[in-house]
Structure 1
Amino acid sequence: MTTYRPGDSKREEFRKYLEKAGVLDALTKILVALYEEPEKPNDALDFLKAHMGQSGPDTADVESLRLQVSELMQKVERLQDENRELKAKVQMENPEVEPSAEN
């Protein structure tokens, strides 16, 4: 006869959580892929790490975002230059106005 241990319910809750989140399926798929590898890798942990990230962002999306970041950084630089020029112009027109420390 088995005895009930309080830790069993926590384990069961955690297992259900992992199953609901899809973690168990993902791990199972990766382990099956490792099992089906004709030549087993020297480092199984590296294999797992490499295959865990497969569902990450699409490379096209990443490239698109990098391009967008680059364009926005150039725009920020242009606007900062324009801001400095306008502040200098205002300072020339109104020399009694203290230049602000902002930039």
Structure 2
Amino acid sequence: MAHYRQVSESKREQFRRYLEKAGVLNSLTNVLVALYEESEKPNNALDFIKHHLGVGPEADDSESLRLELNSLQQKYDQLLEENKELRNRLLQYEPPQDVGTE
């Protein structure tokens, strides 16, 4: 059983060195220190960690993009409706021209 512990500890040490070499331990340490030093702890620590690690879009960016998309969708719908109205008005004053009947 002592041999199993040595193998297990050896694998753990290899994994720790791998994480250290890849910069993972340093990054995690920096984020955890930043969380520790926060005067007002965030409600969701995981979101704080994700934000500071740069995982996924930032909440502010995502919300502003969502608002912009909504605004542009409304503008698009308005323009489609305006285009439809203008086409109908144009048809009242100019009958449709058939292609090749000139």
Give the TM-score normalised by structure 2. Answer: 0.48
Give the TM-score normalised by structure 1. Answer: 0.48
Which of structures 1 and 2 has the bigger CA Rg? 2
